[in-house]
Amino acid sequence: MDFNELPNFDLRHTIFALITPPGTSAVAVVRISGKRANFYSLCAYIPKLPDCLNHPRKSLLVDFFKNNSIILDNVLAVYFPSPASFTGEDVLEISFHGNMLIVEQALAMLSCIENFRHALPGEFSFRAFRNGKMDLLELERLSIRLNAKSETMLDFASRLNKVDLNEILMTLRINSMRHRAAIEMLIDFSEDVDEEHTFLEICSTWNNLYHALSKLFRHNTIGKSWFIPQIVLFGQTNAGKSTLFNLLLQEKRSIVSSIPGTTRDYVSQTVNFEGETFELIDTAGIRDSQDIIEQEGMDRSRKLLEDSFFKILVMPPDSKNQDFEGRKFDLLLESFSKETVINEKIGRFNKDSGFEELSFVFKLAKRKLKDAFSGGEEVYLAQKFKNILESLKPYCHTYDSYIKNKYDIAILDQEFRSIETLLQKISADYEVNEVMNYIFSNFCIGK
C-alpha cells in the first residue's frame, strides 16, 4: 500500500494531543508519540524525564516546569517503548490535573519544541495502522465505538467479523472466470461436449457467483447518518408536523400556527429513547410557493428526506393523496384525529396525544435500526463500492431468471457480459484508501 496517498499525516514529526475529554476533570492525559531520541527535548520541562525513559511502563511522579523555577504542575509520566505501545512508536503519556488552564499551557509549551506538533484527528490510530498494531477492520470497529450514540451501534462494532474484502473480491473474480469458461465451452465446442452436462456446469458456477454476490448485497454502508439516525417528519403545510414534533419532544420546541408555511427551515432535536439516540427533525411543509426563502426551506426538506433513516409522512384527515410526491415513508400518521392509535405502518394523533402512546414511533425506528444490523458477517463497504453493487443487483436477478428458464446460450452470453463489466468496475474502483479516508474522517483529535 502506498501510504503517501493516505490522509496527509507527516510521519517525521513527534505528535502530541490531549486524549481525555477537554474540560474540568480529575485528570487530563496528554499523549506524545514519536522517537525516543526526540523526547529528550522535554527535559527542559521535565528534568527527571530520563528516569521515566529508563523505567518503562512505570508511573513516576515528576514536576512539569513552566520555566527553570516555576512548576506548572505535578504530573504522572509513563513511557511505553516501541513497538509495545498504542501507535507502535515510542509513546509518553503525561497525566496533569484536569484544569484546562494547566493543559492549555502545557500544550502550548510542547508546540514550541522543534519537530513537535499537535496531532491531527485520527493520527495516533493512523500510526498504529501503519506500524501493524491495527488492521482496517479494527480501525473500523474503533471508529464505530468512538462515534456510536446507541446500544445498537456498539453491539454492531462488537459483531464485526474479520472479513477480508480483498479475499471476497478474489472469490468473485474466480467464480466469474469459471462461469465465463463454462459459457464459452458451450458456445465454441457445442458439437464436442455434452450440452446438458455443460449447462449444469453453467448453473453450478453461476450459483456460486450469485451466492457470493448476494452476501455482499446484504451488507450495509456505514455512513455518519447511522451514528445518530434521523427521524424526519414531512408533508404538506399545516399538516400537523410541528404539533407532532413538540408532542414527541414533550416540549414546545417548534412554533405551531394555523398560518401555512410557518416552519420555513427544518428544526431538529436529539432524542434518547431506551438506549438509542435519534435526531428528530421537523421539516418545512411542501406546497406551491413563489417565496424564495420558503422554496429554499422546501429544498432542504427534500434533501433531508433523501438521507434520513426513518420517514414519517404527516397528513391532515381531509387529505386524499397518500402518495406524497411519490416519496416512500416508514410510517403514515393522520393528524387532528379524535383518537391516538399507531400501528406498524399507519396511525392517528391529535394535539392532546400523550407521549406514552406516541412513543411507539421511536419503538418502530429502534426496531428498524436493529433489523438493519441483525445480519451475521459484517464488513465495511465504501459508498462507491456499494453503489456499484446496487447497479449490479437487477442484472443479477434478471440473469438468474434466465438461467432457471434455460434461455438460449447466446442470450446468456450477452447478459453475462453486462455483469462482467460491473464486476470489473468493482475491482478497479475499490481502494483501501477510500475506506481509510472515510474511517479517519470520523476520528477525534487524540485518537
Q: What residue spans define the domains of the chain?
A: 9-133, 165-220+378-438, 232-356
Determine the Cα angle at 104 with ends 115 and 121, to 5°.
60
More confident residue, 288 or 185: 185
Contacts for 288 with CB less than 8 Å, ≥ 6 apart = none
The conformation of residue 112, written as its DSSP 8-state character, comes to: T
Q: How does residue 309 score in pLDDT terms, banded at 50, 70 and 90? A: confident
Q: What is 9-133's CATH topology?
A: Gyrase A; domain 2 (3.30.1360)
28-75 pLDDT per residue, tens: 999 999 999 999 999 999 999 999 999 999 999 999 999 878 999 999
Which positions ≥6 away from 257 have C-beta within 8 Å?
none
Q: Cα-atom radius of gyration of the chain, to the nearest Å?
A: 29
Q: Could you read off the pLDDT of 322-359 as tens digits, one per residue?
A: 556 567 788 888 887 778 878 888 888 888 888 888 88
- What's residue 110's pLDDT? 96
% pLDDT > 90, the chain: 30
Grid cell at residue 236:
404538506
CA distances for 93 relative to 79, 142, 161, angstroms: 7, 20, 32
Confidence of residue 80 (pLDDT cuts 50, 70, 90): very high
What number is the average pLDDT over the span 280-288? 76
- 304 pLDDT above the threshold of 80: no
What does the pLDDT read at residue 387? Answer: 74
Domain 165-220+378-438 sits in CATH at 1.20.120.660
More confident residue, 238 or 312: 312
Question: Are residues 185 and 193 in contact, defined by beta-carbon separation less than 8 angstroms?
Answer: yes
Q: Which of 142-151, 241-250, 398-407 has the highest mean pLDDT?
A: 398-407
Is residue 276 helix, strand or coil? strand
pLDDT > 70? residue 105: yes
Cell of 193: 461436449
Separation between Cα atoms, residue 208 and residue 171, nearest integer Å: 9
- Per-residue pLDDT, 319: 67
CB of 289 within 8 A of CB of 298? yes
Residue-level pLDDT at 145:
81
Q: In this predicted structure, what is the pLDDT of residue 8?
A: 65
CA distance 147 to 157: 11
Distance, in Å, from the CA atom of 437 to the CA atom of 192, rounded to the nearest integer, reads: 53
Mean pLDDT of the chain: 81
Question: What pLDDT is stored for residue 217 in this prediction?
Answer: 75
More confident residue, 296 or 348: 348
- 403: which 3 cell numbers? 438461467
* pLDDT score for 113: 95
| Residue that wins the pLDDT comparison between 172 and 445 | 172
Q: Which residues contact 403 (CB under 8 A, 6 or more apart)?
A: 202, 203, 206, 412
In DSSP terms, 74 is beta-bridged to 63
What torsion, rounded to 10 degrees, do the Cα atoms 364, 369, 371, 377 define? -170
pTM of the model: 0.60
Look at residue 433 and tell me whether its pLDDT is greater than 70. Answer: no
Residue 60's pLDDT is: 96
pLDDT digits (tens, 9 = 90+) for 171-215: 888 889 999 988 888 888 877 778 888 889 999 999 999 988 887
Top-confidence residue, 320 or 378: 320
Greater pLDDT, 414 or 218: 414
Question: Which of the four pLDDT bands, split at 50, 70 and 90, describes residue 124?
Answer: very high
Side-chain-facing half-sphere of 38: CA atoms under 13 Å: 19
Rounded CA-CA distance 338/261 in Å is 24
226 vs 194 pLDDT, higher one: 194
Measuring CA to CA, which residue among 1, 165, 122 is closest to residue 437?
Answer: 122
Residue among 208, 205, 207, 182 at smallest CA distance from 195:
182
Give residue 437's pLDDT: 62
What are the start-end ranges of the H helices in 131-258?
Answer: 136-147, 151-159, 165-188, 195-217, 241-249
Mean pLDDT in residue range 302-322: 77
Q: What is the architecture, at CATH level 2, of domain 232-356?
A: 3-Layer(aba) Sandwich (3.40)
pLDDT value of position 425: 75
- Distance, in Å, from the CA atom of 392 to the CA atom of 206, rounded to the nearest integer, reads 14
User: Within 13 Å of residue 230, how many CA atoms lie on the same side as its CB?
Assistant: 21
d(CA 37, CA 374): 49
- Split at pLDDT 50, 70, 90, the class of 431 is very low
Give residue 1's pLDDT. 40
Q: Give the dihedral sign, CA 211/217/220/221.
A: positive
At 429 the pLDDT is 45
- Bigger pLDDT: 91 vs 389: 91
- Asked whether the bond before 50 is cis by omega within 30 degrees of 0, the reply is no
In sequence order, the β-bridge partners of residue 31 are: 17, 93
Q: Give me the mean pLDDT over the 406-413 stretch.
A: 90
Residue 2's pLDDT is 39
